[in-house]
């Protein structure tokens, strides 16, 4: 490849990125209208000033503590459910578990399962929760199922892939020696997979905490619901206390999960987000396996294993979740009724024009959101990585401080639910695509920034070392050796988060931003179920199209 | 890889269609809630204002209902309008304090449900259009005056609020003010309290708000009258009411609906306990009502596409 081709390709790449952003901006800016609602600016000031005076009344703090417990319980049970679905689904989906090629009925079932899982995960947790509320009523099971289903679908895919990526020797050997399938799986596949599965489980738990807070919007309890209630009465002092609690909880779970992950296997959140297998460039699988075996004796992992089962039991008992709702005749009646209401699908009032318009708004919102997130990541990410060589002088101390601050900012960004960001954004921006995009962008920025920082930390340092030995200054060497390999990862995470952003537009839509989410909220408020079916189908198609498109884009850039 | 996924997707869609179709065929739909074992009687209210107030008021009401009927009554706080209707529909709550529109929506979904009582102020309820003084808008005398709002920003309350959205939007249409004449899209603040805050702070120039909540907010000194001006008081319409499920007597014993209605109508402002409840409701007394009183609301809701 000549230098010219490389430049042309880069230029094309830039256009490919800039074109959609320009289109999205054009679409979301109303012609001739004001961009900022200046009237809301003073209120914004008051609001942030009130962050310094969070409500600390004993009565309220008891409520906060209770809400923390509920959130933890829901997240724990939701994750447990997701892991059960993921393990079963993953085993069915993976080729490794089957040893010899399965017969055609199994293949058909697998294909069906795979497509059901894709559909299940293309619907946002919040929308699942809204549907479950119609069937189960005001039942804590709603929250657990709304987390367990979409997360389970995601987990099944990742677990299936994990099983397939492992060396198959032990399993083959056991099967060939005449072991029956189940023991063969238990002894041949699971031991090698366990560290990876556990590490992913902790990552999922982290995500589940954030999602449970989000579900508060539909009133399933916990910190999220408390935030909605305080927000409705515009009691910002209470909102800040609750957000502080979310922050603390996220920070602790982040820390715990990172510890376990780095102890169990050399796998980070960013690995899971970017499709784990690509991360192991340049290292032999055997070395990894050795590392895994060596590290399973971590203290963190042992402690986690000890609290795991009691934790689930406590969560079960305290949350009052019961599976009775699943089998009751009332649920069966209501499910029948809901399905009957949902069928046949109907276009929203305004017809195709409105449907297509909202879909385009959704896409524009997701593009702008990811742009905001990328800007945040580029601005904060480099500061949030830990330095390779432990600094010794006071310059090192300053570096440590900037690192802690940028990490804290990223944590704050991702801990505040996008619904709250949207309420804040709606103070200064007119309802529409922009406040939604800003809200989602801030939230996503917190997540993307962390993923990218983590990825940067794990980049091979040999290139930098070589350059430094060749006499290049440290700064230049670091940039020259890190940027090219990390650009690919950056793109991976950006595309991955873009897909999620598209799904997350449902969340800010529900608080009245724009797009399919808003249309969904409007139709849910007026019980137009046939239209809801159409909107769900539209978001499903959108999700799947994006998934295919980003995958293709990914393949194109990797070559 | 791509090919597999496409096939998977097509098959998946087909699978979903089949699933949904099956569901549609077998669900007889009727009788939801009727097979529920009699638990405590559930009661709730649309979250139209400060949840703190709701959480103070309704547990007291629940206790009162329990005392008079001998049943166990629980207040189930719900965070959004639609959820109250849904909970009522599926029988998680049997009694609900509804707005005009939510009541009509709930009756459309639960045939036989009946409006049993309303406050003295609900038969002739009003919305107010309020504005920030800084907007330069002046009060006006009739519906046609709404045209002067063109070019200004406006916020409603909740999407399915009768006094915060449905009726204001109806009068705007009557006065010849289209939503596209406003500056930017109209906002949905979520509650009357939030609307008042948005207007007082200047975040929105104009707001449509429930007269009773406005009065209560003014009385509590929570709004700076130097910053907000009342532009116009709408003509009257029927609004809030207590709605009871048709199976209330069947599930909790004959005469339950009657007992609760009598209790509400008998609340006496001269007795301290009753007065406390009435005061929290912002009323002097409760009066009887019937479904037909909300025919106008139903017609307006249908016209605006807010009723499926």
Please give the structure tokens belonging to residue A285: 């699988």
Q: Do domains B41-121+239-304 and B127-233 have the same CATH topology?
A: yes
CATH of domain B41-121+239-304: 3.40.190.10
B positions 255-284 inside 8 Å of A (CB): none
CB–CB of B82 and A527 under 8 A? yes
CA nearest neighbour of B151 among B200, B199, B198, B206: B206
Q: Looking at residue B199, what is its pLDDT? A: 92
Evaluate if residue A290 carries a pLDDT over 70: no
Per domain, the residue ranges of chain B are 41-121+239-304, 127-233
User: Could you give the dihedral angle defined by the CA atoms of residues A276, A282, A284 and A287, in that order, rounded to the nearest 10 degrees?
Assistant: -90
Is the model's pLDDT at A415 over the cut of 70?
Answer: yes
Residues 6+ apart with CB under 8 A from A30: A430, A432, B184
Calpha distance B225→A537 (Å, rounded): 49
Q: In sequence order, what are the residues at sequence separation of 6 or more whose Cβ sits closer than 8 angstroms to the Cβ of residue B188?
A: A431, A512, B155, B156, B157, B158, B159, B165
Angle between helix A433-457 and helix A418-428 axes, rounded to 10 deg = 130
- What's the confidence (pLDDT) of residue A78? 96
Q: Is the CB of residue B11 less than 8 Å away from at least one CB of chain A? A: yes
Q: pLDDT-derived band of residue B25, with 50, 70 and 90 as boundaries?
A: very low
Q: How confident is the model at residue A512 (pLDDT cuts 50, 70, 90)?
A: low
Least confident of A128-142, A320-334, A433-447, B6-20: B6-20
Residue A99: per-residue pLDDT = 63
Residues 35-94 of A with CB under 8 A from B: 37, 39-40, 42-43, 46
Q: List, for residues A11-67, the tens digit of each pLDDT value.
A: 887 788 899 999 999 998 876 666 777 777 877 888 888 888 999 999 899 999 999
Between the alpha carbon of residue A383 and those of residues A386, A399, A432, A494, B126, the distances in Å are: 8, 8, 33, 19, 57
Task: Report the CATH number of the B127-233 domain.
Answer: 3.40.190.10
CA distance A92 to A110: 7
Residues of chain A above pLDDT 70, percent: 90
Query: If contacts are CB pairs under 8 Å, which of residues 82-121 in chain B contact chain A?
Result: 82-83, 85-87, 90-92, 105, 108-109
The single-letter DSSP state of residue A429 is B
Strand pairing category for B286-288 and B114-119: antiparallel
> Token digits for A142?
């709603």
Q: For residue range A162-218, what is the model confidence (pLDDT) as tens digits?
A: 888 877 788 888 888 888 878 888 888 888 888 788 888 888 998 999 999 988 877
Partners of residue B35 in chain A, C-beta under 8 Å: 329-330, 333
Q: Does the distance separating the beta carbons of B184 and A34 come in below 8 Å?
A: yes
Using the structure block, give the residue that is written with the tokens 């590290």: A295
3-state secondary structure A473-510: CHHHHHHHHHHHHHHHHHHHHHHHHHHHHHHHHHHHHH
pTM score, whole prediction: 0.85
As a whole number of angstroms, the distance between CA A60 and CA A49 comes to 20
Q: Find, in chain B, the residue whose alpha carbon is nearest to that of A134.
A: B86
Closest CA relative to residue B166, chosen from B58, B239, B61, B91: B239
Instruction: Give me the residues of A, 242-281, that contact B with CB < 8 A.
Output: none
Confidence band for A371, pLDDT divided at 50, 70 and 90: very high
| Least CB–CB distance from A336: residue in B9, B23, B47 | B23
Q: Which pLDDT tens digit goes with each residue over A85-112?
A: 999 999 988 887 776 777 888 889 888 9
Residue A423 pLDDT > 80: yes
Instruction: Give residue A501's Cα distance to chain centre.
Output: 9
Residue B36 predicted with pLDDT over 80: no
Mean pLDDT (chain A, rounded)? 84
Whether the ω angle into residue A344 lies within 30 degrees of 0, i.e. cis, is yes
Percent of chain A having pLDDT more than 90? Answer: 31
d(CA A202, CA A204): 5
pLDDT at B188 over 50: yes
| Per-residue confidence band for A313, with pLDDT thresholds at 50, 70 and 90 | very high
- Among A398, A388, A385, A393, residue whose Cα is nearest residue A464: A388
Task: Name the 3-class secondary structure at A281.
Answer: coil
Nearest CA in chain A to B31: A333
Picking from A184-188, B49-53, B147-151, which range would have the lowest pLDDT averaged per residue?
A: B49-53
Closest Cα to residue B230, out of B141, B130, B127, B126?
B130
Q: Is residue B160 pLDDT above 50, yes or no?
A: yes
pLDDT tens for B80-124 read 888 899 899 989 999 999 999 999 999 999 999 999 999 999 999
Neighbours of A254 (CB within 10 A): 18
Q: What is the mean predicted confidence (pLDDT) over A459-488? A: 77
In what helix (H) or strand (E) does residue A419 lie, and over which residues does it extend?
helix A418-428
Whether residue A362 lies within 8 A of chain B, CB to CB, comes out as no
Mean pLDDT taken over chain B: 85
The DSSP bridge pattern shows strands B41-45 and B206-210 to be: unpaired
């Amino acid at each position: 490849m000549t230098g010219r081709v490389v430049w042309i390709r880069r230029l094309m790449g830039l256009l490919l990125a800039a074109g959609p952003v320009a289109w999205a901006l054009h679409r979301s800016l109303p012609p001739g209208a004001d961009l900022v609602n200046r009237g809301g600016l003073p209120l914004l000031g008051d609001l942030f000033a009130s962050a310094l005076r969070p409500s600390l009344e004993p009565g309220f703090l008891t409520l906060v503590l209770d809400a923390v417990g509920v959130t933890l319980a829901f997240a724990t049970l939701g994750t447990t459910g997701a892991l059960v679905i993921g393990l079963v689904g993953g085993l069915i989906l993976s080729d490794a578990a089957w040893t010899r090629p399965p017969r055609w009925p199994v293949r058909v079932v697998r294909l069906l399962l795979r497509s059901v899982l894709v559909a299940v995960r293309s619907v946002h947790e919040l929308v699942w929760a809204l549907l479950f509320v119609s069937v189960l009523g005001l039942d804590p099971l709603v929250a657990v199922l709304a987390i367990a289903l979409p997360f389970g679908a995601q987990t099944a895919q990742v677990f299936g892939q994990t099983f397939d990526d492992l060396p198959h020797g032990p399993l083959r050997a056991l099967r060939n020696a005449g072991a029956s399938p189940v023991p063969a799986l238990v002894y041949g596949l699971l031991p090698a997979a366990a560290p990876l599965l556990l590490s992913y489980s902790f990552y999922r738990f982290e995500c589940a905490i954030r999602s449970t807070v989000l579900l508060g919007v539909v009133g399933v309890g916990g910190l999220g619901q408390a935030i909605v209630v305080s927000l409705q009465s515009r009691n910002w002092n209470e909102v800040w206390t609750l957000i502080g609690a979310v922050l603390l909880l996220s920070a602790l779970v982040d820390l715990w999960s990172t510890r376990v992950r780095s102890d169990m296997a050399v796998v980070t959140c960013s690995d899971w987000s970017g499709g784990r297998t690509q991360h192991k460039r340049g290292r032999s699988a055997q070395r990894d396996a050795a590392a895994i075996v060596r590290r399973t004796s971590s203290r963190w992992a042992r402690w986690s294993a000890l609290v795991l089962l009691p934790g689930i039991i406590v969560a079960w008992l305290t949350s009052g979740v019961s599976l009775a709702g699943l089998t009751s005749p009332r649920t069966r009646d209501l499910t029948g009724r809901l399905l009957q209401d949902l069928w046949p699908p109907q276009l929203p009032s305004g017809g195709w024009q409105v449907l297509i318009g909202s879909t385009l708004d959704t896409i524009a919102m997701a593009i702008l959101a990811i742009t905001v997130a990328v800007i945040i990541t580029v601005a904060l990410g480099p500061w949030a990585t830990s330095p390779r060589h432990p600094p010794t002088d006071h310059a090192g101390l300053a570096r440590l401080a900037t690192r802690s601050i940028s990490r804290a900012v990223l944590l704050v960004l991702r801990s505040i639910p996008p619904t709250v960001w949207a309420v804040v954004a709606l103070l200064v921006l007119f309802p529409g695509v922009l406040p939604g995009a800003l809200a989602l962008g801030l939230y996503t920025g917190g997540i993307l920034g962390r993923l990218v920082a983590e990825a940067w930390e794990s980049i091979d340092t040999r290139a930098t070392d070589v350059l430094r030995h060749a006499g290049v200054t440290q700064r230049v060497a670091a940039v020259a050796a890190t940027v090219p390999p990390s650009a690919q990862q950056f793109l991976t995470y950006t595309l991955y988060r873009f897909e999620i952003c598209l799904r997350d537009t449902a969340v800010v839509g529900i608080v009245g931003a724009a797009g399919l989410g808003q249309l969904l909220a409007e139709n849910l408020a007026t019980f137009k179920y046939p239209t809801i079916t159409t909107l769900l189908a539209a978001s499903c198609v959108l999700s799947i199209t994006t998934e295919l498109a980003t995958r293709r884009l990914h393949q194109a850039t990797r070559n | 890889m791509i090919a597999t996924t496409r096939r998977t997707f097509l098959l998946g869609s087909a699978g979903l269609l089949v699933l949904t179709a099956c569901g549609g065929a077998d669900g007889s739909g009727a009788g939801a809630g009727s097979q529920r074992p009699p638990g405590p009687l559930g009661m709730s209210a649309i979250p139209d204002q400060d949840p703190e107030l709701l959480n103070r008021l309704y547990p007291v009401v629940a206790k009162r209902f329990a005392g008079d009927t001998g049943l166990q009554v629980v207040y189930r706080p719900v965070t959004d309008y639609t959820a109250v209707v849904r909970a009522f529909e599926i029988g998680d709550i049997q009694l609900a304090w509804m707005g005009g529109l939510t009541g009509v929506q709930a009756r459309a979904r639960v045939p036989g449900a009946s409006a049993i009582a309303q406050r003295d102020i609900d038969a002739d309820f009003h919305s107010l259009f309020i504005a920030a003084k800084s907007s330069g808008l002046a009060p006006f005398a009739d519906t046609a005056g709404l045209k002067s709002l063109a070019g200004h920003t406006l916020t409603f309350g909740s999407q399915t609020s009768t006094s915060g959205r449905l009726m204001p939007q109806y009068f705007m249409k009557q006065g010849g003010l289209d939503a596209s004449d406003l500056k930017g899209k109209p906002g949905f603040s979520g509650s009357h309290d939030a609307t008042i805050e948005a207007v007082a702070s200047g975040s929105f120039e104009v707001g449509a708000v429930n007269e009773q909540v406005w009065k209560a907010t003014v009385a509590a000194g929570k709004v700076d009258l130097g910053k907000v001006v009342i532009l116009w008081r709408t003509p009257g319409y029927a609004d809030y009411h207590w709605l009871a499920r048709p199976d209330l007597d069947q599930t909790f014993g004959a005469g339950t609906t009657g007992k609760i209605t009598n209790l509400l109508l008998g609340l006496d402002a001269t007795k301290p306990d009753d007065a406390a409840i009435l005061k929290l409701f912002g009323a002097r007394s409760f009066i009887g009502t019937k479904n037909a009183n909300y025919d106008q609301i139903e017609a307006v809701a249908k016209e605006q596409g807010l009723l499926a």
